[in-house]
C-alpha cells in the first residue's frame, strides 16, 4: 500500500512537471509572438506618422516657394511649425548661396554656400511645385548649425520658368527622434532605428552611428550566421515592405536574441526609409513571471487535490484489507 501511495505521488509530480514545461514553453512562444506583433503595430503607426509629417512639410515648402521669400515671411512660415522638429528654413540664390533664412530660436543665419548639397543639385532641374525629402546632413547655418538635420526642399522658379534657388527646411534629427521614435520603445532596452533603403543608418538609439551602413557593419564584424542575416537584410531593404525578424546579435554582454519589426516610411516612388524596432527577448520574457506563478498555482491546487484523493483512496483500501484480515482471524465468512 505504501508503494502505491508513493507511486501515485511520483506520478502526480511527474505529470505536474510535464505540464509545467509544456505550458511554459507554449507561453514563451505566445509571448514572443505577441511581442513581435506589438512591435509591428507600433512601427507601422510610427512610420505612418513620420510619412505624414514629411508630406505636410513638403507641401508647406512647395507652397511657400511660390511666394515672397523675404526674412519676415520666412519667419512667419517657421513660426507655424512651433513645437515640431522643423526648426528653420533657408533660401538660396541660383548659385547655391544662402540669401535668407529664419528659425524658431531667432538665431543668426550665416550666408554660406550649399551648392554641394544634394537638395540644391536636385532643385536645379526639378519642376515647379515639387518637393523632396533628403538624407541626414550636418547643418551649416542657423539654429541647427553643427547638428544633424533632415532636409525638405522645393525649387524656387520665377514666372518665366527660370531657376532662382531652393527653399529648404531643416528638420532637427534629435527632435524628430525624440518626438516620433523614443515614445515607441516598449522597454528600456528597446532599440529604435531609422535606416535608409541602402542600409545607411540615419538614427539609432543603441549601438550604431549616424552615417554608418548596417550591411558594412556586419561585414566588418562577422559572426556565425551573419551571411544569412546580410542576405535577408539586403532582400528586405529592396522590397519596401514591413516584416519581423527573430535574430541573434552580438550585444554588449555577449550574444543576445532580439525580436525585431520594421516598417517602411514611403518618401517617393522607389525610395523609402525603414523604421526598425529591436527588443531583447529577455525583456519580453520578463513578463513570464506572473504566467509562471499562475502555472505553479494551478499545479499546486491540482497536486493537493490529487494527493487528498490518493490519501482517501489509500485509507479505503487499507480499511478493506484490515476488515478482510479481521474476518479471516475470527473465521467470519464474507
Res 148: pLDDT? 93
Res 135: pLDDT? 84
Res 26: pLDDT? 62
Res 182: pLDDT? 85
Q: Which domains does the chain have, with CATH numbers?
A: 2-56+185-283 (3.30.450.20), 65-176 (3.30.450.20)
Res 198: pLDDT? 87
- φ/ψ (deg, to 5) at 197: -75, 0
Interatomic CA distance for residues 111 and 203, integer angstroms: 28
Interatomic CA distance for residues 260 and 281, integer angstroms: 10
CB 240 within 8 A of CB 197: yes
Res 93: pLDDT? 97
- Cα–Cα distance list, 1 to 83, 91, 286, 313, 314 (Å): 79, 96, 45, 10, 7
SS3 content of the chain, % helix, strand, coil (to 5): 50, 25, 25
Q: What is the DSSP string of 52-72?
A: HHHHHHHHHHHHHTTS---HH
Q: How many CA atoms lie within 13 A of 183 on its CB side?
A: 9
Res 16: pLDDT? 58
Res 147: pLDDT? 94
Q: How many residues does the chain have?
A: 334
Mean pLDDT by 10 residues, the chain (334 residues): 55 57 62 86 93 95 95 96 96 97 95 96 95 93 94 95 97 91 85 89 84 84 75 82 80 72 86 90 64 60 66 66 62 58
Instruction: Take residue 204 and report the three cell numbers written for it.
Output: 539609432
CB 191 within 8 A of CB 201: no
- pTM for the structure as a whole: 0.75
How far the first Cα of the chain sits from its last, in Å, is: 22
Amino acid at each position: 500500500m505504501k508503494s502505491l501511495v508513493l507511486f501515485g505521488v511520483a506520478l502526480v509530480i511527474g505529470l505536474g512537471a510535464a505540464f509545467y514545461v509544456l505550458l511554459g514553453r507554449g507561453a514563451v512562444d505566445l509571448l514572443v509572438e505577441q511581442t513581435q506583433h506589438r512591435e509591428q503595430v507600433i512601427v507601422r503607426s510610427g512610420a505612418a506618422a513620420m510619412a505624414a509629417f514629411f508630406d505636410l512639410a513638403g507641401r508647406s515648402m512647395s507652397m511657400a516657394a511660390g511666394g515672397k521669400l523675404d526674412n519676415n515671411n520666412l519667419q512667419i512660415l517657421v513660426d507655424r511649425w512651433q513645437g515640431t522638429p522643423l526648426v528653420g528654413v533657408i533660401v538660396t540664390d541660383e548659385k547655391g548661396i544662402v540669401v535668407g533664412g529664419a528659425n524658431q530660436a531667432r538665431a543668426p543665419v550665416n550666408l554660406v554656400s550649399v551648392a554641394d548639397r544634394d537638395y540644391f543639385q536636385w532643385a536645379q532641374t526639378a519642376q515647379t511645385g515639387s518637393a523632396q525629402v533628403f538624407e541626414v546632413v550636418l547643418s551649416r547655418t542657423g539654429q541647427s548649425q553643427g547638428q544633424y538635420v533632415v532636409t525638405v526642399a522645393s525649387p524656387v522658379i520665377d514666372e518665366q520658368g527660370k531657376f532662382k534657388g531652393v527653399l529648404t527646411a531643416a528638420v532637427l534629427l534629435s527632435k524628430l527622434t525624440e518626438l516620433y521614435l523614443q515614445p515607441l520603445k516598449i522597454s528600456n532596452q528597446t532599440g529604435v532605428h531609422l535606416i535608409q533603403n541602402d542600409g545607411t543608418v540615419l538614427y539609432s538609439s543603441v549601438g550604431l552611428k549616424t552615417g554608418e551602413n548596417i550591411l558594412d557593419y556586419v561585414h566588418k564584424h562577422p559572426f556565425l550566421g551573419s551571411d544569412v542575416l546580410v542576405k535577408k537584410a539586403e532582400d528586405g531593404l529592396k522590397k519596401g515592405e514591413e516584416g519581423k525578424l527573430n535574430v541573434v546579435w552580438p550585444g554588449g554582454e555577449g550574444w543576445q536574441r532580439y525580436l525585431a519589426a520594421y516598417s517602411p516610411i514611403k518618401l517617393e516612388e522607389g525610395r523609402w526609409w525603414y523604421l526598425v524596432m529591436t527588443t531583447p527577448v529577455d525583456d519580453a520574457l520578463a513578463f513570464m513571471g506572473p504566467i509562471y506563478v499562475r502555472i505553479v498555482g494551478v499545479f499546486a491546487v491540482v497536486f493537493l487535490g490529487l494527493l487528498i484523493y490518493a490519501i482517501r483512496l489509500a485509507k479505503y483500501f487499507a480499511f478493506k484489507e484490515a476488515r478482510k484480515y479481521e474476518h479471516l482471524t475470527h473465521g467470519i465468512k464474507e
